[in-house]
């Protein structure tokens, strides 16, 4: 049947053909899977409890394997005293050198932080041999080890079961590295390794103590290491040293509030709603400065008379934005922090914002309140350059948001209602990345990120991926990203939604101190008690119109803000038609 060689039983006869066919079929399946993969896949980091389970299994498996190995070797020496310890493995030095090489290559991915690279390199060097060892041990377990008596199945089980668990959990550790991406080339290199296994099987899958099995073993092991390397590669090789959240940017001084820096933090937009299809496509929440509107080639028409009033409705141009006077390139201090003139936006036949005017003085803590669908989010989105208006002008410290978006966006911070964050970064990486994108030097961005994480009570979760954050934690992380470059004007859309009371109190104190330094906050909220407590200026919007605006005391008019709000907006429900509600009769 088979020949015994140094404690190794080679495959023979039909068994060789069956094994080779099975391995080549598996190689074909891996190749097919590679072609079917349309894009790279980032492994989802398991939650903390699963990570603990992962390491616990790995340690237990290692201990069990060492115990089983001692029992197995003791019985092996008893049953086969003439074989001694078997043939010396000539492949171990190759494995060790390949692991060191892989470790060093991964450490050159300078776009990631040192800790991330070190963790990825350690996990990669441990997991790469397992890509080879797992299918290899499945093959040798079946036939190639001689039986031990009186119970061969028992001795195989105590040796291979913990060994398989070690290999599987080691491969599982790859999910902990944010550098890992499963891609087509991973499947192709793995398929090549299985193909070499198939050729090896045709020759009996003999122990590597001759030229041919040694060569096939080395080739297949190197292919396994290349497959592991593809998991840590960028999408383009030319981005090897720059791709990643820690991408180095040119050194530049920390921007002041009047300094123009290219704002960033883009997120992929969702499909537009049907209601918006008839009008200009809205820009979804992001912190990326959109391109300035196309300049008209026609010169401005000069006229001596003042503005001419007309009963005809305003003519809507095909250009989505109305360009006004040439904006100042530097913030104009002394005027209003936020000035809105004739702001309009329609989605098809619905006019969401109907020509609002608004002024917010510097150092104000201003609230924008209104019922659902009143136009709060639409207004804030236009003020911050996230949604292009049909008409009107927005000035931030004298800078025209839509005539010169980069200059205006350099001095504002924004937390949209549904801010999208980079989920595959940890909390500290996200804030540091936001600071670097805003032009801060690396050391300054790291320092500010640590301080914000502490104030926002996220220090204990700084190493966790944002994907694992709760809704409230994500809101706090988004606020940190908006504050890290020290903007002079901050826009917040429902900033405390989903935030626990303790964190909400800390955020209120943080924003109060921020306003006390002379900065300005404009935020929307449905919680009238919160607005009344913290805001010194309130604007009430209803059906796209500002129905009241001014100091909080003036808007309240001696009543609570909630009572004044209801009186101005008016109750819309009619409860009398629900006479059946609450009735015990059916």
Is pTM beyond 0.75? Reply is no
Tell me how far apart the alpha carbons of residues 437 and 280 are, in angstroms, rounded to a whole number: 28
pLDDT for the residue numbered 574: 61
Query: What count of residues does the chain have?
Result: 586
- pLDDT exceeds 50 at position 386: yes
Q: Residue 472 CA to chain centroid, in angstroms?
A: 16
**516: how many CB neighbours lie within 10 A of its CB?**
10
Tell me how far apart the alpha carbons of residues 559 and 538 are, in angstroms, rounded to a whole number: 14
Which alpha helices (H) appear in 206-328, and where do they start and end? 211-230
Quick check: helix, strand or coil at residue 585? coil
pLDDT for the residue numbered 252: 40
Tell me how far apart the alpha carbons of residues 151 and 397 are, in angstroms, rounded to a whole number: 84
CB distance 214 to 90 below 8 Å:
yes
Q: What is the pLDDT of residues 176-231, one digit of tens each?
A: 888 888 888 999 999 999 999 888 888 777 665 677 878 888 898 899 999 999 99
- pLDDT exceeds 70 at position 498: yes
CB distance 92 to 132 below 8 Å:
no
Q: What is the pLDDT of residues 78-89, one digit of tens each?
A: 777 766 544 456
CB distance 327 to 375 below 8 Å:
no
- pLDDT exceeds 60 at position 274: no
pLDDT for the residue numbered 19: 85
Quick check: helix, strand or coil at residue 361? coil
> Which residue ranges make up each domain of the chain?
4-239, 331-570
CB distance 458 to 470 below 8 Å:
no
Q: According to the per-residue pLDDT averaged within each range, which of 107-116, 132-141, 363-372 is highest?
A: 363-372
- pLDDT exceeds 50 at position 479: yes
- pLDDT exceeds 60 at position 247: no
Please give the average per-residue pLDDT across 249-273, as a whole number.
41
Backbone CA torsion sign across 531, 534, 540, 544:
negative
Share of the chain above pLDDT 70, in %: 76
Give the residues across from 413 on adjacent strands: 490
Give the lowest-confidence range in 132-136, 191-195, 250-254: 250-254
Tell me how far apart the alpha carbons of residues 435 and 480 are, in angstroms, rounded to a whole number: 10
Tell me how far apart the alpha carbons of residues 268 and 295 are, in angstroms, rounded to a whole number: 26
Kindly state the DSSP code that residue 174 receives in the 8-state scheme: G
Q: What is the pLDDT of residues 505-535, one digit of tens each?
A: 888 888 888 888 889 999 888 788 888 888 9
Among 371, 135, 97, 50, residue whose Cα is nearest residue 222 = 97
Please give the average per-residue pLDDT across 121-127, as a whole number.
90
- pLDDT exceeds 80 at position 65: yes
Kindly state the DSSP code that residue 112 receives in the 8-state scheme: S
Please give the average per-residue pLDDT across 131-149, as a whole number.
75
Average pLDDT, the chain: 78
pLDDT for the residue numbered 297: 40
CATH topology of domain 331-570: Rossmann fold (3.40.50)
Q: What is the pLDDT of residues 32-43, one digit of tens each?
A: 999 988 778 877
Q: Are strands 412-415 and 489-493 parallel, antiparallel or unpaired?
A: parallel
Name the CA radius of gyration of the chain, rounded. Answer: 33
Give the lowest-confidence range in 50-59, 420-429, 492-501, 505-514: 492-501
Confidence of residue 577 (pLDDT cuts 50, 70, 90): low
Angle of CA points 309, 315, 319, to nearest 5°: 130
- pLDDT exceeds 90 at position 490: yes
- pLDDT exceeds 80 at position 289: no
Q: What is the pLDDT of residues 421-431, one digit of tens each?
A: 888 899 999 99
Give the lowest-confidence range in 80-84, 101-105, 317-321, 433-437: 317-321
Residue 214, CA distances (Å) to 89, 91, 211, 522 in order: 10, 8, 5, 71
Q: Residue 480 CA to chain centroid, in angstroms?
A: 15
Backbone CA torsion sign across 528, 529, 530, 535:
positive
Tell me how far apart the alpha carbons of residues 210 and 300 are, in angstroms, rounded to a whole number: 87
Residue 572 burial (CB < 10 Å; 0-12/13-18/19+)?
A: exposed
Please give the average per-residue pLDDT across 275-285, as a whole number.
42
pLDDT for the residue numbered 271: 44
Count H helices and E strands in the chain, helices first: 16, 14
Q: If you search the block for the tokens 């309240």, which residue do you land on?
A: 556
- pLDDT exceeds 60 at position 260: no
Backbone CA torsion sign across 128, 130, 136, 140:
positive
DSSP per-residue string spanning 454-500: HHTT-GGGTTSBGGG--HHHHHHHHHHHHHTT--SEEEEESTTTT--
Tell me how far apart the alpha carbons of residues 82 and 192 are, in angstroms, rounded to a whole number: 38
Share of the chain above pLDDT 90, in %: 22
Give the lowest-confidence range in 10-14, 398-402, 403-407, 418-422: 10-14
Dihedral pair phi/psi, residue 442, rounded to 5°: -55, -45
Among 97, 109, 226, residue whose Cα is nearest residue 178 = 109
Please give the average per-residue pLDDT across 450-470, as a whole number.
89
Tell me how far apart the alpha carbons of residues 305 and 78 are, in angstroms, rounded to a whole number: 112
Tell me how far apart the alpha carbons of residues 471 and 567 are, in angstroms, rounded to a whole number: 33
Kindly state the DSSP code that residue 357 receives in the 8-state scheme: E
pLDDT for the residue numbered 10: 64
Which residues have CB under 8 Å from 177's CB, separation 6+? 116, 119, 120, 123, 124, 232
Tell me how far apart the alpha carbons of residues 269 and 263 are, in angstroms, rounded to a whole number: 17
CB distance 441 to 251 below 8 Å:
yes
Q: What is the pLDDT of residues 305-335, one digit of tens each?
A: 444 343 444 434 444 443 343 433 445 556 8
Give the residues across from 412 on adjacent strands: 489
Q: Looking only at Cα atoms, what is the longest distance across the chain?
A: 113
């Amino acid at each position: 049947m088979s020949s015994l060689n140094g404690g190794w039983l080679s495959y023979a006869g039909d068994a060789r053909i069956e094994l080779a066919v099975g391995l080549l079929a598996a190689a074909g399946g891996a190749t097919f899977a590679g072609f079917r993969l349309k894009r790279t896949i980032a492994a989802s980091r398991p939650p903390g409890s699963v990570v603990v389970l992962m390491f616990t299994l790995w340690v237990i498996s290692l201990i069990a394997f060492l115990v089983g190995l001692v029992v197995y070797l003791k019985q092996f020496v008893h049953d086969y005293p003439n074989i001694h310890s078997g043939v010396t493995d000539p492949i171990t030095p190759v494995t060790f050198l390949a692991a060191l090489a892989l470790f060093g290559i991964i450490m050159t991915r300078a776009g990631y932080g040192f800790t991330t690279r070190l963790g990825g390199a350690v996990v990669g060097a441990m997991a790469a041999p397992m890509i080879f060892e797992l299918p290899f041990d499945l093959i040798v377990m079946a036939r190639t080890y001689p039986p031990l008596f009186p119970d061969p199945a028992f001795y195989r089980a105590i040796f291979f079961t913990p060994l398989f668990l070690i290999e599987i959990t080691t491969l599982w550790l790859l999910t902990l590295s944010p550098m890992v991406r499963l891609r087509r080339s991973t499947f192709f290199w793995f398929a090549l390794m299985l193909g070499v296994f198939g050729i090896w099987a045709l020759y009996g899958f003999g122990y590597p103590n001759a030229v041919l099995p040694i060569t096939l073993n080395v080739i297949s092991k190197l292919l396994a290491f290349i497959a592991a390397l593809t998991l840590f590669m960028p999408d383009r090789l030319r981005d090897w040293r720059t791709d990643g959240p820690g991408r180095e940017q040119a050194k530049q001084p920390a921007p002041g509030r009047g300094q123009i820096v290219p704002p960033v933090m883009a997120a992929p937009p969702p499909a537009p709603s049907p209601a918006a299809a008839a009008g200009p496509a809205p820009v979804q929440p992001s912190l990326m400065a959109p391109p300035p509107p196309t300049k008209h080639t026609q010169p401005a028409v000069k006229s001596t008379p003042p503005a001419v009033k007309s009963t005809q409705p305003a003519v809507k141009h095909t250009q989505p934005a109305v360009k006004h006077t040439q904006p100042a390139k530097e913030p104009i201090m002394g005027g209003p922090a936020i000035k809105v003139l004739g702001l309009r936006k329609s989605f098809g036949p619905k006019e969401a914002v109907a020509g609002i005017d608004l002024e917010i003085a510097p150092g104000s803590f201003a609230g924008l309140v209104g019922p659902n669908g009143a136009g709060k989010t639409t207004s804030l989105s236009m003020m911050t350059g996230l949604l292009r208006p049909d008409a009107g002008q927005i000035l931030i410290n004298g800078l025209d948001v839509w005539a010169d978006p980069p200059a205006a966006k350099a001095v504002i911070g924004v937390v949209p209602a549904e801010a999208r964050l980079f989920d595959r970064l940890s909390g500290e990486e996200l804030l540091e990345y936001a600071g670097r994108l805003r032009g801060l030097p690396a050391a300054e961005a790291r320092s500010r990120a640590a301080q914000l994480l502490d104030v926002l009570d996220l220090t204990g979760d700084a190493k966790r991926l944002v994907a694992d954050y709760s809704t409230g934690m994500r809101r706090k992380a988004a606020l940190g990203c908006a504050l890290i470059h020290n903007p002079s004007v901050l826009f917040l859309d429902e900033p405390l939604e989903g935030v626990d009371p303790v964190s909400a109190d800390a955020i209120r104190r943080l924003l109060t101190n921020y306003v006390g330094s002379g900065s300005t906050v404009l935020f929307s909220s449905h919680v009238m008690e919160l607005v009344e407590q913290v805001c010194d200026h309130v604007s009430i919007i209803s059906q796209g119109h500002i129905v009241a605006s001014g100091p909080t005391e003036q808007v309240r008019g001696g009543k609570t803000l909630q009572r004044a709000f209801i009186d101005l907006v008016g109750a819309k429900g009619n409860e009398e038609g629900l006479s059946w509600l609450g009735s015990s009769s059916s």
